[in-house]
Amino acid sequence: MRNYFLVLIAILAFNFNISAQETTSTEKKENKIKKTFESESKDRLFLVLNHDNLLHKETNGFKTQWYSRGIGAYFMWDFQIKKSRFSVAPGVGYNFAAYYHNGRMQEDSSGISFPTIVDLKNDNTYKRGRLAVHYIEVPIELRFRHMFKNTNMSLKLAVGIKGSVKVSTTAKEVRTGPNDYAKHYNTANFKDINTFRVGPTFRVGYGPFNLLAYYNLMPLFKKGKGPAMTPFSIGIAFTTL
């Protein structure tokens, strides 16, 4: 009987030791993850530089220019999901997108069109056209981060979605006048540009440097009020805090 009792004690002690080791290992892992979230930047503040452009099927010679661009700034909160490496980050921000093109834009009762297409290489009187849109935006991301010990910086992956509300729109034409003097012609507040937009986002980063992409699920112009053009952007972001 005594031998059975000793065996039972040995088994219980062994199981307790295994459990203690597993608990210690789990605690160490959780503490490591917690340390990552506490010590590393939570990417609260974003400064974004984009190449903004339009996907379209215009056959009249309309083209957007490679230097179409945008800029944005965002503040985002970061909420860790339990004790994992994942977090959810909602935010608010501002975005400005400028689409440079070779058309003369007009808006009338039928909507927005580009009736005149200019050969920018051979027409010295027309420098460029630009359509600019200002947005207030609400993004949300699902984030994953992994810290590297040797650099104390993290690899970050994030997928999300953002909704936008148009604040204002402007169109500009730059033409050459007498003595090569550049004249600017501005028009504002086009009602046939969609007020809202929404689309998925993707971001990959290392430390404060990030690459990102966005695709708009809605056309730039209201249905039946302009050519079918879909905005997208790719860019770089610098994060802090």
Q: What is the CA radius of gyration of the chain?
A: 27
* Count of structural domains within the chain: 2
Predicted pLDDT of residue 132: 97
Ramachandran quadrant class, 65 (left: phi over 0; alpha: psi -120 to 50; beta: rest): beta
Instruction: Let me know whether 12 and 106 are in one domain.
Output: no
Instruction: Let me know whether 8 and 98 are in one domain.
Output: no
pLDDT over threshold 50, residue 126: yes
Q: Residue 13: which domain range?
A: 1-39
Instruction: Let me know whether 10 and 109 are in one domain.
Output: no
pLDDT over threshold 80, residue 199: yes
Instruction: Let me know whether 33 and 81 are in one domain.
Output: no
Q: Taking the model in full, what pTM does it have?
A: 0.81
Instruction: Let me know whether 28 and 67 are in one domain.
Output: no
CATH number at 76 reads 2.40.160.20
pLDDT over threshold 50, residue 7: no
Cα dihedral 100→106→112→117 (10° resolution): -60
Taking only the tens place, the pLDDT of each residue in 146-162 is 888 787 788 999 999 99
Instruction: Let me know whether 28 and 85 are in one domain.
Output: no
Instruction: Let me know whether 57 and 5 are in one domain.
Output: no
